[in-house]
Amino acid sequence: MITAATNRNPYVMGKPNPMMFRSAMNRIEAHSETTAMIGDRMDTDIVAGMEAGLHTVLVLTGLTTAKDVERFPFRPDQILNGVHELLDQI
């Protein structure tokens, strides 16, 4: 409807969005080199994390399965069964 009325494509600022990450990182004085996006969806969470230049971690506790990952032309930096596996890395 917006496109038809304005003859322009809208920029969607929904969750998650790279601008949301950048704004949050600015607020807490964090940097993309030391920040990660942990999410359970390739098509939203991981894409947004990649677009924001973050380390991306896909957790297989939500919608995306390990087999689903093959459908996408991009890959997260890490794939974990759950966030509990992050404890093994510290």
Judge residue 77's burial from the number of C-beta atoms within 10 Å of its C-beta, 0-12 exposed, 13-18 middle, 19 or more buried.
Answer: middle
Residue 38's domain comprises 34-90
Amino acid (one-letter) located at 39: G
Report whether 45 contacts 16 (CB < 8 A). Answer: yes
What is the CATH classification number for the domain harbouring 62? 3.40.50.1000
Residue 82 reports pLDDT greater than 80: yes
Answer whether 0.75 is exceeded by the pTM: yes
| Confidence band of 22 (pLDDT split at 50, 70, 90) | confident
Q: Is residue 43 in a domain?
A: yes
Domain count, the chain: 1
Q: Is residue 24 in a domain?
A: no
For 67, the token pair is 């087999």
Q: Are β-strands 78-80 and 55-59 bridged in parallel, bridged antiparallel, or unpaired?
A: parallel
Q: Is residue 38 in a domain?
A: yes
